[in-house]
Amino acid sequence: MDLLDFLGRITSEKDTKMDFVESKLFEASTSNVSISQDSTNVESTVSKGIFIRVLHNSFEGFASTENLSEMGVLRALEFATKMVEAGYVFSPQKLESSVAKGAHACNAVNNEMPSDIDHVAKVRELRREYNNVCGHFSEGENIKMYFSQVNQNQYYSNSLGKQYHISQTLIGTYYDVTRNSLRLFEGRNRVVSGEMSSESFSENVGSFLARRFRELSISTSSPSGQMSVITSPEVSGTLAHELGHIFEADSGKVEYLRNHLDRQICSPEISLIDEGNNSNFGGYCPVDDEGVDCKKALLIDSGYLSDFLTNRCTAEQFGLPCTGNARTDCHLRKPVVRMRQTYFEGGSDCLEDMISECQSGILVEKAAGGQNGPDGRLVLRCMLGRTIESGKLGKPVQNFNLSGNPLELLSAIQGLTKNKVLFNDKCGKDQIITIAHGGPFVKLRAEVQG
């Protein structure tokens, strides 16, 4: 492709007199399908664009364009270079993008379907699955199905000679089941690389949804207070991801956490890892959006705080190694520090012993995300769980939070089972990107808020 050759030329030329120049071309075709009992809606988008980023001394310029002519790309390069000359200081907290004049709106709806998705066959297949799911529910329970498929191509080149091409297909299937005020929302995301795919419902989807909806319908409010909590592998992954945010070098926590670097902060059984080398999951990132090879980051290594997540700018700012965690969702926004595939390693305990040794607590089966609040506390929003009473599982409970100071939550972990499981998900830190997270069953003490 002539344009890619041109991108390679302009990023490698030394007469720009810049320390570092990079460019990335994003191509994406997206299909969204929604199905209910009496309707089927299909929307499709196609987007393509390029960003140019320039670093020189401590200054940064960023521009993006959807004018893919040589003139359009040169104009974006000129715009980014002028930002550097004007003295734009790069900052881990500064997430705004600048768009070169003449750029068009991203993700405008096209009248034509993307040619790489067979919509007629896909809708027919989805309608069959939808009808199968409906057969597991009673009259009066409303079911909606949502499907999303994104086919991505990314081409990258920088002034250090790094070039790469990554192609992936991201697939999401979601169900929204309601009856009066009761609502269940369940989804699964898959990543397809070549002929490989990962993660679907582990049992017949209709049976799974019906069973979980019944559990939700008989569930009660959760108890509150400080108590023993056991998290399922999916919830453990959400916890790992939310804890991982404090290790991102643009989080504002680095100066404080550096006082704990190479010190033991939790049990030696705990290791928290972020990497991006598994092509079968979201967050696959062998090379990041600044052309840095992905490195496995041992955030916590056998209980010791060991590493942080950085991009080029934050690595330079804090004098840390660059871990290759610069990511962006499209050409309109510059790369910032993001997680990839974050998980707890397995431990040595078994779930049966964890439950039998617990006199009073909760087994958390499903979470709906979490956040690190302005007060520094981590809050995990939980949708469904079961009480544990005298070493046995009790009644279902719903809609409660787990919370605590991140370092205190880490130190409160009392055990992990042997086998970890990874799950695909998305993270919405200023821009929505695909990630993976996971772990084993984890037992800890935490504040539960019903």
pLDDT digits (tens, 9 = 90+) for 162-209: 888 888 888 899 999 999 989 999 988 887 754 334 445 555 889 999
Burial of 139 (0-12, 13-18, 19+ CB in 10 A): exposed
Rounded distance between C-alpha atoms, residue 107 and residue 86, angstroms: 31
**pTM for this predicted structure:** 0.88
Match 């499903």 to its residue by tokens: 366
Are 331 and 26 within 8 A, CB to CB?
yes
pLDDT in the model for residue 309? 97
- Per the structure block, which two tokens stand in for 330? 């499209």
Residue 340 has what DSSP assignment?
A: -
Residue 294 has what DSSP assignment?
A: P
pLDDT in the model for residue 39? 95
Match 């898959």 to its residue by tokens: 190
**DSSP count for the chain of H helices, then E strands:** 9, 22
> β-strand 220-221 against 196-197: which pairing, if any?
unpaired
pLDDT in the model for residue 354? 97
Rounded distance between C-alpha atoms, residue 163 and residue 156, angstroms: 5
Phi then psi dihedrals of residue 394, to 5 deg: -115, -140
Rounded distance between C-alpha atoms, residue 351 and residue 71, angstroms: 61
Rounded distance between C-alpha atoms, residue 4 and residue 330, angstroms: 17
pLDDT in the model for residue 114? 47
Domain with CATH 3.30.2290.10 in the chain: 2-217
Rounded distance between C-alpha atoms, residue 158 and residue 315, angstroms: 18
Question: Buried b vs exposed e over 193-207: b needs ≥16 C-beta within 10 Å?
Answer: beeeebbeeeeebbe
Question: Domain 2-217 falls in which CATH fold?
Answer: PmbA/TldD fold (3.30.2290)
- The predicted-structure confidence for 29-71, as pLDDT tens digits, reads as follows 999 999 999 999 999 999 999 999 999 888 889 999 999 888 8
Contacts of 345 by beta carbon, 8 Å cutoff, 6+ apart? 270, 271, 272, 273, 416, 420, 439
> Which residue type is seen at 292?
V
Rounded distance between C-alpha atoms, residue 21 and residue 13, angstroms: 9
- Per the structure block, which two tokens stand in for 247? 């290790």
Rounded distance between C-alpha atoms, residue 140 and residue 447, angstroms: 37
Can you list the residues of the chain whose pLDDT is less than 70?
A: 1-4, 13-16, 89-118, 193-203, 374
pLDDT in the model for residue 228? 96
| CA proximity to 242, closest of 101, 373, 73 | 373
Q: At what angle do helices 2-12 and 70-85 cross, to 10 degrees?
A: 20
Between the two ends of the chain, the Cα-to-Cα distance in Å is: 57
Rounded distance between C-alpha atoms, residue 258 and residue 247, angstroms: 10
Give me the helices (H) in 370-450, please.
Answer: 406-411
pLDDT in the model for residue 2? 63
Are 215 and 396 within 8 A, CB to CB?
yes
- Per the structure block, which two tokens stand in for 13? 């030329």
Rounded distance between C-alpha atoms, residue 326 and residue 335, angstroms: 5
252 phi-psi bin (left φ>0, alpha ψ -120 to 50, beta other):
left
pLDDT in the model for residue 101? 32
